[in-house]
A and B are shown apart, each in its own frame.
Chain A
């Protein structure tokens, strides 16, 4: 039985389960204790010491995040002793921190700045320690800027990179006054195993890790009358953008976002959902084809399980850590890159534009998409398929800079064409969404019937469990797909690279026999992406997820193959899934990289 412990915090009694930290016990009483190194998604560190509290009968202060409650404990969170220590700690952190706040990218969004303001640090007497260290700002990565002069050594990034992502591109190095967060032998971020997922950026309390922003480049393009600037928005952006613009977490702001983008001056506001649907057509067909080759033709050179390819963080992870499995990844480009390739071909033709004059911008919940757009393979249109990738956060900033009062905006609809969306595409933003969308379509292709789930909601593949498994028996196949009759389709879904690693390891060890695996690099899928508004935690991700599924339910068309624009593009441009044009524009290949 779970033990219940009694304690008093600031003389107020509270009972909590055994194992609860003082910090969480205080939360129960609505007593907020400031924290910095603590993060709901990460293991306890107890490093920054900002959360220290006084315990009756104990000489030293206790780090409330790290100390579990014991019975009869009496805690005080706001004594003279605590306040003094806390202020000292903030002052110490400021003394090793490049506090050029007004020119910092994170100005106004920095947890250290907030704490300093809250505790009225004022004039800091301590000696500026920055003068004794040499800091170089690492701008080598297409996605992430690392500025050690702003680092407060909370190690959130290190814990994120190792525990959530199992990448460990960042580590704590040296000790004492030389201690810092670094890559392998201080190599540039661009040349290490970093997957560009940006989860560290999402959790960095200061401006030490930020996304590389392309705001001014995009504003310049928008101001250039010779350029036709188009924008695509990823599914997960619409359920999170509001958070940075004063709207409640979990609100869908699709219509307002479209209006805002139009006001920003984009010539055409389009939807990545369109190519998400297209991805389903291509990837679904690819899966069925692989299955046919294996089951009917007895091919031995066809790689199964097939994994999804939408998440560029996952792709780079696989290229580094499981290079022997590059053949297993769907050759489909991600929806962003499919869109980019079509923008400067199909779209250009239809609109009678010179692709050289098209500037293709994408709004993504993701920092790895910046890297992806810069991959040399991503120029199949003859141009750079996607010119600039902005995160949800950057878009929010642009909206603010442009003086747009987002909250009061009216809704409007995406432009056509390449602006149509289905519910299947929207749920790409949540873990399990691609799987669900794929099953909705593939099952129907194979059997001619809708998936046997209430309201098309394939609930077994939904939710925040790290690795989900499901199987679906295929029965009543149409003639073409008879070979699948009775086949038990086994799938797995993983989100967060630590879970991706688990699934791939189990495949590698021969312990799992899946046909299809959906993998997203970020916890919760794209809705928890590294480009999404800060902060993030499970509660926030759950709210965004709820919003995504609401958006799905709210759409009249909820299956990718029924997207009218998708039907149209096959008719007038692509001909058929996996056709010649598709291969040329919509598919890609992967690179085997060094694991270390």
Chain B
């Protein structure tokens, strides 16, 4: 399809504007595999934008390729968990069959082989995307079979059985499918709120919207619910600010851009109970006075896009039937971890590079389209919906004072039970490891690459929750065979790539940390240089513009201080 036609199609229902830019670029990539100069010139003409500006926006996103790509773009996950689960072997298989290295394309332009940051399958690594098709739990044999099928173009159909498919179906919201997360010993308290069998989002929403708005907000505040994305801002307060903002136009955004390494719980939630997420968004819209909700779904989850769109449509119908003037719409990300930061996400939704904004102002007062906006995590929306039904008391009877309720965890790494578990907050890490460890757990990374690494000797004293170590849900277990240098190095590479690059402490700091540990390892720098780097992380923590740069210190410090000998020698 001609670029111009793509633009016409993508923007047929809306005014041609900057906001649609990323959707247009995504469609160009979908159809042509990459965006070339003349594509951008066409887009520039149609949208009245500067081509350099568009080029700058496209190059921000890993999935908006501006370099020549083959018919099949292979993106092999290179997260630390993928590495632990044999990513290198898979890489070798691909390289051997296609005779190319990562980053290269085959001469016949059939394949491009890329590596990519966490694609959200730490429970089933190694994993890869080939265009929008997903393959998980790869073995060398399986990989070979897959690549060979693509080599022989017309054998791809045979791959259906090997593909990992979206599991949302008409049945899902009636919950005939339960995410199988295995039996637990009972050291941690399993909870069944998010995935509970009686989904009934329509019924729950019907009840919830009968409540007085202000007292409902107070109820959420009273419940102690804090944002489940990781930062932990009190949800009720956020809604209160947005509700009190004097503006006719407000927005609800569901942050489904879970990019934190080792996190995949939103993926499962969206597969299992998407109706509840949309219902939670509608409830938010009803309470704060917003008519429009957007779900910003990470580009790595493109394979569930069509299914989610269907559910969104059904949900919108349901909202209408309930008399709610509210509709949800899906927006896709394009491979940029930092877009999980709420203001970066807004920038991205507005068709810009996903660079975090200066705060204040916060989105609750000035957000999407400069209007008051509530942005919550996928899981948070469900909890609000559930609190409306079970009440604040019951919710806060779980967990602790600072960490009320339960939370969905993504468990991965050296564990016999990788998967998603909804657990009561406030457990000690010792109990968690007892439950999920393989008996040889050396350390647990709580909260992903931007979280903290806790060594064995601290398991007992570490509480999972806001009084201890808060987490967006990522729990990666490492046993004694794992090199903590490799773990740290993997994180630092990740941050150096995924920093938006606008602020000095983060852009340069991440590179310095990465090159610094490499130099210490190779003896170019003395072990004492680690102290300089630790010092630097203090500056990154207090002087970076957003949470990304501010939290690099967490993993760095905790790994370097606890596993110094592994970093140095």
- B-contacting residues of A (Cβ < 8 Å)? 44-50, 52, 59-61, 63, 66-68, 81, 84-85, 88-89, 92-93, 95-96, 125-127, 129, 132, 152-153, 155, 162, 167-179, 182-185, 192-193, 595-596
Closest to B56 in A: A171
Chain A contacts of B338 at CB under 8 A? Answer: 175
Which B residues, 522 to 564, have Cβ-Cβ distances below 8 Å to chain A? Answer: 525, 529, 532, 535-536, 538-539, 541-545, 550
Query: Residue among A50, A89, A96 with the most chain B CB within 10 A?
Result: A89
Overall SS of chain A's interface: loop
Q: How far is the CA of A48 from the CA of B501 in the complex (A)?
A: 10
| Minimum CB–CB distance for A44 against chain B, Å | 7
Contact of B504 among A89, A173, A174, A595 (CB under 8 A): A89
Chain B contacts of A44 at CB under 8 A? Answer: 358
> Are B539 and A175 within 8 A (Cβ)?
no
Contact of A174 among B59, B495, B496 (CB under 8 A): B59
| Minimum CB–CB distance for A477 against chain B, Å | 43
> Are A88 and B498 within 8 A (Cβ)?
no
Chain B contacts of A162 at CB under 8 A? Answer: 50, 53
> Are B507 and A177 within 8 A (Cβ)?
yes
> Are A47 and B504 within 8 A (Cβ)?
yes
> Are A88 and B59 within 8 A (Cβ)?
no
> Are A175 and B498 within 8 A (Cβ)?
yes
Which B residues, 498 to 513, have Cβ-Cβ distances below 8 Å to chain A? Answer: 498-505, 507-512
Chain B contacts of A132 at CB under 8 A? Answer: 511, 515
Q: How far is the CA of A369 from the CA of B37 in the complex (A)?
A: 30
- A-contacting residues of B (Cβ < 8 Å)? 37, 40-41, 44-45, 50-53, 55-56, 59-60, 66, 336, 338, 353, 358, 360, 495-505, 507-512, 515-516, 519, 525, 529, 532, 535-536, 538-539, 541-545, 550
> Are B51 and A173 within 8 A (Cβ)?
no
Q: How far is the CA of A175 from the CA of B57 in the complex (A)?
A: 10
Chain B contacts of A46 at CB under 8 A? Answer: 358, 503, 545
Closest to A186 in B: B55
> Are B52 and A177 within 8 A (Cβ)?
no
> Are A182 and B52 within 8 A (Cβ)?
yes
Contact of B501 among A45, A126, A179 (CB under 8 A): A179
Question: Are A177 and B496 CB-contacts (below 8 A) given A95-B508, A162-B53?
Answer: yes
Closest to B50 in A: A168
What would be 13 A-B contacts, judged by CB atoms less than 8 Å apart? A63-B358, A81-B542, A129-B508, A172-B502, A177-B499, A178-B497, A178-B501, A184-B55, A185-B37, A185-B66, A192-B52, A595-B45, A596-B45
Chain A contacts of B550 at CB under 8 A? Answer: 60
> Are A596 and B44 within 8 A (Cβ)?
yes
Closest to A89 in B: B504
Chain A contacts of B543 at CB under 8 A? Answer: 49, 52, 60-61, 85, 88-89
Q: How far is the CA of A153 from the CA of B508 in the complex (A)?
A: 11
Closest to B55 in A: A184
Overall SS of chain B's interface: helix
> Are A176 and B45 within 8 A (Cβ)?
no
Closest to B58 in A: A173
> Are B512 and A127 within 8 A (Cβ)?
yes
Chain B contacts of A81 at CB under 8 A? Answer: 542
Chain A contacts of B536 at CB under 8 A? Answer: 88, 92, 126
Contact of B539 among A68, A89, A169 (CB under 8 A): A89
> Are B532 and A125 within 8 A (Cβ)?
yes
| Minimum CB–CB distance for B412 against chain A, Å | 24
Closest to B43 in A: A596
Chain A contacts of B516 at CB under 8 A? Answer: 126-127
Chain A contacts of B541 at CB under 8 A? Answer: 60
> Are B512 and A126 within 8 A (Cβ)?
yes
> Are B512 and A92 within 8 A (Cβ)?
yes
Q: How far is the CA of A125 from the CA of B495 in the complex (A)?
A: 21
> Are A95 and B512 within 8 A (Cβ)?
yes
Q: How far is the CA of A163 from the CA of B508 in the complex (A)?
A: 26
